A and B are shown apart, each in its own frame.
Chain A
Amino acid sequence: MQVEKNFEPTVVAFCCNWCSYAGADLSGNNRIQYPANVKIIRIPCSCRLNPMFILRAFQRGADGVILCGCHPGDCHYTSGNYFARRRMTLLFSMLSFLGIEKERCRVEWVSAAEGAKFAATMNDFVATITRLGENKKLEDLRCKK
């Protein structure tokens, strides 16, 4: 695959309010660096993430989408991340059906205490997406003016 020079991927991270968003904050508190390509959207729980949002992000030109939630068993709402896990599994098979590389979408469990893990995850994810290059599948050209 041809990688453009200075390709800066657009990465959307959905983080649950209780664990991963707090983990991202902790990463900031500890000044642990990760690429500015990552833009976080706060959702109350990973189960709030409608797979539609991920498809919408790809449609609007995102190169990678990551969902972060509490570790299984630690959900603030008891069972939300179990729902998220099942829905994402279904979405993954759909994405591969659509021909989108499976590395472009990821689920990670990051607790409120894992600031370092959050940064490491984002570093790794952005590196993966940069290697994969721009996402052309699903992109709605009408949105790109």
Chain B
Amino acid sequence: MQRIGVFVCWCGSNIAATVDVKKVAETLGKEPCVVYYENYQYMCSEEGQNKIINAIHEHKLSGIVICSCSPRMHEATFRRTAQKAGLNPYMVEIANIREQCSWIHKDMATATEKAIILGRAAIAKVHLNTPLQAGESPVVKRALVIGGGIAGIQTALDIADAGFEVDIVEKKPTIGGKMSQIDKTFPTLDCSACILTPKMVDVAQNEKIHIYSYSEVAAVKGFVGNFDVTIKRKARYVKEELCTGCGACTEKCPQKKVPNDFNLGLDNKHAIYIPFAQAVPKVATIDPDYCMMLKTGKCGVCSKVCAAGAIDYKQQDELVQQQYGAIVVATGYNPIDLKNYDEFAYSQSPDVVTSLEFERLTNAAGPTGGVLLRPSDRQHPHTIVFVQCVGSRESGEGCGKTYCSKICCMYTAKHAMLTREKYPDTEVYVFYIDVRTPGKNFDEFYRRAVEEYGVHYIKGMVGKVSPENGKLMVQASDLLDNKQLKIEADLVVLAAAIEPDPSARPLATMLTTQMDTNDFFTEAHPKLRPVESATAGIFLSGCCQGPKDIPETVSQASACAAKVIGLLAKDKLLGNPCVAESNELMCNGCSSCEKVCPYGAISYVDKEFKMPNRTIAVRRVANVNPAVCQGCGACTVACPSGAMDLKGFSNSQIMAEVDAICK
């Protein structure tokens, strides 16, 4: 017989306002085997936890039910409490009467009734709980960082600093990410390359960090502490270990008409290229879509000029297997494709550019050498119109995103300010819905753009941009003056919304992590666990989790590294004891469970059974490896003889809950 204690939490007024907690406690107190009940304002507080500990000691409780918030919130807390009192942590059940009762109902009578039923179900379940012991598994002391932008770089450097091995997988030929394309950073206006490239060099020189550039994650298996990852190293047709990055091949390559994706197609590169001068690793890569040698077998110039003999036209994609204890996702963002915004004439005129293209047009290492020129006629623009919120903050039906992209207000203020500083003869207009400047020195920065640099900020949206006689006619409304405006502009810059990188979605499936409806990775808790995913051992860094500026990205990256270090510093991890278990006496060795197990945790062993008349029979029975089993329960349903059961969510426990609810 169990001795059960029931503890009903008020959660301040969160539960108590709609649920009669006293009545719930008293009613549940009459349930069979309930020997103690109590209600208290904050069960999760130290005082509340002490009440639970004292009750366990005083009334010799063998199981407890806490009617409180979601188990996703405080199940771990109360399990620790039980453990402190000497009770097995898996003898605790939570009835979720906050998220799934008090917060969604307004009528006290119905909410109280429901809370009682939920409590009853939890009591019915705890009756059948058994003490469980968590198994241990070792931790591989190596971390994988997916994505080599500033988020991935910072995370890798911090983890390496703590003495752990880190691998960075970057799909582009060089690390650096979006930050390497940016000219200046707000609000300090320091040069992006000057603060980024030293960090890239640190990564390259750090003995603990290994870069897999031009590579992708192909498959992920395993679980926290023991991930088994397959990395695909795409053929770059250049031997990385031999190439010195001298650049002779990139100058001599006859195929010069390759759109330069680093400059967003604003100029051309050669078919063999190094993305930019400070690339890490500084190794050439051949673009197989354009290389004449790879396409037709005729050319081979790069191979002839390469003194190091690094060119290898026969190189193949290579798969590398590696084990990791933790995985960091830092896949970053991209500006959205503006093909659905043709009212801004993005596809009709080369002089309508995105903000990231504008960064390249003002960057000293960009296609114009840092001189601001129109892409169409390479003339200096005299009137520039910036349009904010292109694709951001749209209603659900629009083709854009509902969220705020967060960084556009600040970088547009930066662009406007820098333009006015370098070219005081240029008129700069900024059309905005709202200017959002939360951040240290951000509002001061924006006000400087307006007050000191004379940028025309106009509240209103641009309705249409039409190319006319080499100019761009911008029709817009000024909402504050309530009038229509027509501006003859030379250059229009669109602050395109940012969205997660397209590689994020398949990666999330591989990692079995969750994403929100916009394909941003979901954190384990929006406030309290912002850098972890709900899947143990998978961490989130940078814009893959939501739009962020550089300072925020770097702080999140370091936070993420701290979490990874915390994990890797452990020698052993306690596993989830809620794993499948086979009843050997009932198992008939049919292999149904083995076929559905996604982790390969089930194997078969020959076991001797004592039969009547002192004979011994050998039968093949299923055996679950508790270190590999993740406790999904697929096998329990597949088993035709009912031999397989899941600890913590057993057939009888769930049936008991069903019965309690339907009573």
Contact = CB atoms under 8 A, between A and B. Distances in A.
Interface of A: 10, 12, 17-19, 21-22, 24-25, 27-29, 31-34, 36, 39-45, 47-53, 56-57, 60-62, 70, 73-80, 83, 87, 111-114, 119
Contact of A25 (B72, B110, B522): B72
A76 B104 contact: no
A19 B517 CA distance: 13
Contacts of A27: 99, 104
B118 interface: yes
A80 B598 contact: yes
Nearest to A75: B512
B514 interface: yes
A21 B633 contact: no
B630 A77 contact: yes
A76 B72 CA distance: 15
Nearest to A12: B661
A143 to B, nearest CB: 8
Contacts of B98: 28
Interface in B230-266: none
A22 B646 CA distance: 21
A45 B108 CA distance: 32
Nearest to A24: B100
Given A27-B104, A33-B104, A44-B649, A56 B655 contact: yes
Contacts of B106: 33
A25 B100 contact: yes
Nearest to B514: A112
Contacts of A50: 636-637, 651, 654
A78 to B, nearest CB: 5
B632 to A, nearest CB: 4
B32 to A, nearest CB: 15
Contacts of A113: 514-517, 522
B633 A33 contact: no
Q: Ordered nearest first, which 10 A-B pairs have the shortest CB separation?
A: A48-B633, A28-B99, A77-B632, A60-B662, A28-B103, A113-B516, A47-B634, A25-B99, A45-B632, A36-B110
Given A50-B636, A80-B598, A83-B596, A44 B654 contact: no
A128 B534 CA distance: 34
20 contacts: A22-B514, A22-B534, A28-B70, A28-B98, A31-B104, A36-B111, A36-B113, A39-B118, A44-B646, A45-B633, A47-B596, A48-B633, A48-B646, A57-B658, A57-B661, A73-B509, A78-B598, A87-B637, A112-B534, A113-B514
B578 A44 contact: yes
Contacts of A62: 658, 661-662
A57 B638 contact: no
A53 B658 contact: yes
Contacts of A111: 514, 516-517
B351 interface: no
A108 B107 CA distance: 27
B48 interface: no
Nearest to A34: B104
Given A22-B72, A43-B649, A78-B512, A83 B121 contact: no
A41 B94 CA distance: 11
A12 B633 contact: no
Nearest to A54: B658
A45 B649 CA distance: 10
A21 B346 CA distance: 43
Contact of B100 (A18, A28, A79, A80): A28
B107 to A, nearest CB: 8
A29 B175 CA distance: 39
Contacts of B535: 76
Contact of A74 (B72, B514, B638): B514
Nearest to B534: A18
A80 B634 contact: yes
Nearest to A78: B598
B144 to A, nearest CB: 19
B631 interface: yes
Nearest to A45: B632
Interface string B500-511: 000000001100
Contacts of B646: 44, 48
B627 to A, nearest CB: 16
B177 to A, nearest CB: 26
A22 B100 CA distance: 10
